[in-house]
Amino acid sequence: MKPSKAAREEAINDLRKLLKPGDTVYTALRHVSRSGMSRLIDLYVIRDNRPREISVWAALATGFHFDKKKDSIRVGGGGMDMGFHVVFTLSRALFRDKFRCIGEGCPSNDHFNGDRNYADHPHSDGGYALRHRWM
């Protein structure tokens, strides 16, 4: 069942309070289907030195299916880093209206493509606002 627009916006607002550009979202692979074309992935952030699961919020915000039996996000496809794909999609959902450069160490792809300006300026692609790491 597809989440309502209100539920999606509420999840996005809650995640925006929790996540800021430059934060790292950790992913944990829970299961791979026999065909290799589907994965179950959990998302976490570290707060107060403890992992906090954000999988349900992320599924609502991105439109990915949340598997209630397995308590994880179900992602279809293969041939690429699906954890990165989920975090990139989440980042785009949260920061779709661009994000401001956070200075030295900014994760924006613009900096890897020649932009050496780390002063306060907008980046055009919100998908690179969050960092991704596997657990």
> What's the pLDDT score for residue 1?
63
Residue 112 has pLDDT above 90, yes or no: no
Whole-number Å distance between alpha carbons of 91 and 21: 9
pTM: 0.92
Residue 97 has pLDDT above 80, yes or no: no
CB 44 within 8 A of CB 25: yes
How long is the chain?
135
Helix (H/G/I), strand (E/B), else coil: 91: helix
Domain count, the chain: 1
Range of the domain at 126: 5-134
